[in-house]
Amino acid sequence: MLRHDTGGFAASSPPEGFDLKDFEEAGLRVVERRFEPKDLIFAPGDPDDQLYFLLSGVVRLYKIYGDYKEATTALLKDRGIFGKLSLVEGRWQDVFAEAVTEARVAAIQKVAIEQVIKTKPDFALKLFSSLSERLRQSDEVIESLLHREVSTRLATLLLNLGERFGREEGGRLVIEVRMTHQDLANMIASTREAVSKVMSEFQREGLIETRNRRIALLNREALAERAAGPTGLV
C-alpha cells in the first residue's frame, strides 16, 4: 500500500498471513518458474490460465496507455500474488508482468483454483481480498498518473522505492534495486528525457544522489514536499 498519498504506483505485499502454504494446504499443485531481469512473465494475448505467487525477487506489473507510455501499477517483492485477475472481474487483460530482478515464481493453474474456491470459502475470501485490492490500486495509479506533473510522480516513486527497497547507509536511504532513467520513466508513464531533467534537478537541490545506477535519498522530507506538489498534465 502507498504511504505517500500523492499519486504513484503501489509497492505491494499480500494480505497478512497469506503465504504459499495456503495454496499447498488447499491441495493446489504449484510449479516453480525462474525469470531473468527484463523477462516477461505474461503479456496481453497470453493464455489467462495461471495465477502467480512471487517466491523471491522483484516483479513489476504495468499497462500501456496514451501514446504507448508504460505505467507501472505495482511493484511486488517476495510473496506477492499476481495474475490477470479474471478471477475477480474479468479485467486487466492488457496487463504485463516483468521481472525487475532475478525472480522465482510459483505458478498455479486457475482451473484448479476455481475448483478449490467452490469448497473452501476461507481460502476464496483471502484470495479475492488480495486480488481485488490489487485491482483497486491499479485503477488509482492510472488515474493519478493522468493528473500529476513528472516531478511530483518521480518524487512519489522514489519515496516508495526507498520505503520498499531501501537500506539505511550513513544517514542516506539507498535503493537497492538498480534502475536506469528509462526504467524510472517506464514506471511513471513519462519519457527518459523528462526523468533525466528532473533527476538532475533533484541532485542539484541535494535531495538525491546517484552512483552506478543506484539511487540514494538524502532529504526525504523535501522529497515528500515535492511529491505533494501541484497537479498538472505532463
- So where are the chain's domains? 10-145, 150-227
| Interatomic CA distance for residues 234 and 146, integer angstroms | 8
Average pLDDT on 149-171 reads: 89
Provide the pLDDT for residue 115.
82
Q: Say which residues have a Cβ less than 8 Å from residue 95's Cβ, sequence separation at least 6.
A: 42, 44, 61, 62, 63, 73, 84, 85, 138
- Indicate the pLDDT class of residue 99, thresholds 50, 70 and 90: very high
- Indicate the pLDDT class of residue 20, thresholds 50, 70 and 90: confident
Provide the pLDDT for residue 200.
97
- Indicate the pLDDT class of residue 112, thresholds 50, 70 and 90: confident
Q: Has residue 87 got a pLDDT over 80?
A: no
Q: Has residue 215 got a pLDDT over 80?
A: yes
Structural fold of domain 150-227 = Arc Repressor Mutant, subunit A (1.10.10)
Q: What is the pLDDT of residues 120-155, one digit of tens each?
A: 877 776 676 666 555 555 555 555 555 678 999 899
User: What is the chain's mean pLDDT, rounded?
Assistant: 79
The three cell numbers locating residue 3:
504511504
Provide the pLDDT for residue 146.
55
| Interatomic CA distance for residues 185 and 175, integer angstroms | 16
Average pLDDT on 199-216 reads: 93
The strand pair at 214-217 and 208-211 is best described as antiparallel
| Interatomic CA distance for residues 52 and 42, integer angstroms | 10
Provide the residue type at 128 as one letter: F
Radius of gyration over alpha carbons of the chain, in Å? 18
| Interatomic CA distance for residues 166 and 157, integer angstroms | 12
Q: Has residue 66 got a pLDDT over 70?
A: no
Provide the pLDDT for residue 138.
53
* CA-based end-to-end distance of the chain: 25
What class, spelled out in words, does domain 10-145 have in CATH? mainly beta
User: In what helix (H) or strand (E) does residue 120 lie, and over which residues does it extend?
Assistant: none
- Indicate the pLDDT class of residue 233, thresholds 50, 70 and 90: very low
Reported in sequence order, the residue ranges of 79-211 that DSSP labels E, i.e. its strands, are 81-82, 96-99, 103-109, 166-169, 172-175, 208-211
Provide the pLDDT for residue 143.
56
